[in-house]
Amino acid sequence: MLKISKLTKRYGSGDPVLKELDLTVEGDQLTSVIGSSGAGKSTLLRCINRLVEPTSGSIDLNGTEFTTLNRRSLRIARRRIGMVFQGFNLIDRLTVMENVQSGRLGYISTWAALTRRYPREDIRHAYELMERVGIAHYANKRADELSGGERQRVGVVRALMQRPEILLADEPTASLDPKTSEQIMSLLRDLASELKLPVIINIHNVAEAKEYSDRIVGMRYGRIIFDGLPSRLGKAEMDEIYAGVPAQDRAQAGAAA
C-alpha cells in the first residue's frame, strides 16, 4: 500500500506545485492521474521515488517512510518502485537484454554488471517477461532499432524486472500512436491484475484513462479535486479539472493566500 499524506513540493521560492496532497493506492488497482499541463502530475510521481525531492509531507510504501531515507537507503528502497517514462528512457546503444537487465542494477554486483554476466534467475525472469509482452525475439537487438511501442515494452519489462511493489508510469503512451498507445494501456492493466501490482499512470488522454483505469484522480494546481470510479467522471468534473489555465489559477491562488 502506498500512502501519501500532506505532500508539498515547492521549486525554489515560488508557489508550491503540490499542496498538502493526500493519496492512498492499494491492491492491484490501476489508478490514472489526469489534469492539465502544470497541474503537478509529473512532480507527484517523481516525488514518490524522490527523483524530485519533496519539500514536506510523508510517503509510505508498505511500511517504509521514503521521505526520511538517506542516500544509501533510498537507493535500496528505490528497487521496490518500478518506473516507466514518456520518452522510454532506454539506453539506445545497448541491446534489449542489457536494457532489461539494467532493471536489476540495484541487486547485482558491479563486476556482474560490467561483464554482463547476469544471474541465471534474472535471465529466466527476463525471458518470461519479454515473452509475456512479446519482445523476446528482440533480446539481442539494439534498443534503438525497435519501434516506439516495442521500446515502451522494453521500458515496462525493465521496470518489472525489479519485482516492484508498485509501478509508476509517467505519460507512458504520450509518445505513441493511438493504436500502440491502447496496446500499452491494456498491457499495463493486465499486468496490474496478473502481478497483483498497484499501478499509477499519469495520462493526458482522458478517453483512454476512463477505459482502462479502475480509479481516476483529477488534479488541478497541486490539489486532488476528483477521486473516484471512471464512470463518475462526467462533463462537470472534466470542466472543473481542465478549466482555466494553470497560470491564471496560480495567480488566483496567490491572491487568495
Partner 1 sequence: MMSTETLHGAQDHWSRFTLRQRLLRYGGLALTLLVVGWALRSIDVIWAWVWDAPSQMADLFGRMMPPDPSNLPSILEAIWQTVNIATLATMIAVVVSLPVAYIAAQNTTPNRAALWVGRFILVSSRSVNTIIWALLFVAIFGPGIVAGIAAIMFRSIGFLGKLLGEAIEEIDRKPVEALEAVGASQFKIVLYAIVPQVMPAFFAVAILRWDINLRESTVLGLVGAGGIGMILQGAIDTFNWPEVSMVLLTILALVVFGEVVSTYLRKKIL
**Which of 32, 42, 162, 213: binder of partner 1 (CB under 8 A)?**
162
Q: Give the 3-state secondary structure of the chain.
A: CEEEEEEEEECCCCCEEEEEEEEEECCCCEEEEECCCCCCHHHHHHHHCCCCCCCEEEEEECCEECCCCCHHHHHHHHCCEEEECCCCCCCCCCEHHHHHHHHHCCCCCHHHHHHCCCCHHHHHHHHHHHHHHCCHHHCCCEHHHCCHHHHHHHHHHHHHHCCCCEEEEECCCCCCCHHHHHHHHHHHHHHHHHCCCCEEEECCCHHHHHHHCCEEEEEECCEEEEEECHHHCCHHHHHHHHCCCHHHHHHHHHHHC
Between 78 and 220, CB nearer to partner 1: 78
Between 77 and 206, CB nearer to partner 1: 77
Walk across the sheet containing 223-228 and list its strands.
81-84, 166-170, 199-202, 30-34, 215-220, 223-228
**Which of 25, 90, 126, 241: binder of partner 1 (CB under 8 A)?**
90
Instruction: Tell whether residue 93 is a contact of partner 1 (CB under 8 A).
Output: yes
Q: Which stretch binds partner 1 (CB under 8 A): 3-11, 97-105, 123-131, 178-186?
A: 97-105
**Which of 85, 118, 138, 221: binder of partner 1 (CB under 8 A)?**
85
Find the shortest distance in angstroms from Cβ 105 to partner 1.
Answer: 4
**Which of 12, 53, 70, 114: binder of partner 1 (CB under 8 A)?**
114
**Which of 32, 98, 187, 218: binder of partner 1 (CB under 8 A)?**
98
Between 89 and 147, CB nearer to partner 1: 89
**Which of 5, 20, 68, 75: binder of partner 1 (CB under 8 A)?**
75
Instruction: Tell whether residue 87 is a contact of partner 1 (CB under 8 A).
Output: yes
Find the shortest distance in angstroms from Cβ 34 to partner 1.
Answer: 22
Residue 227 phi, psi (nearest 5): -155, 110
Between 95 and 213, CB nearer to partner 1: 95
Q: Which stretch binds partner 1 (CB under 8 A): 58-66, 98-106, 219-227, 247-255?
A: 98-106
Instruction: Tell whether residue 197 is a contact of partner 1 (CB under 8 A).
Output: no
**Which of 16, 40, 57, 103: binder of partner 1 (CB under 8 A)?**
103
**Which of 8, 67, 94, 136: binder of partner 1 (CB under 8 A)?**
94
Q: From CA 245, how far away is CA 220, in angstroms rounded?
A: 10
Q: At what angle do helices 120-133 and 148-161 cross, to 10 degrees?
A: 140
What is the contact surface with partner 1 in residues (CB under 8 A)? Answer: 49, 51, 75-79, 81, 83, 85, 87-94, 98, 102-103, 105-106, 110, 113-114, 155, 158, 162
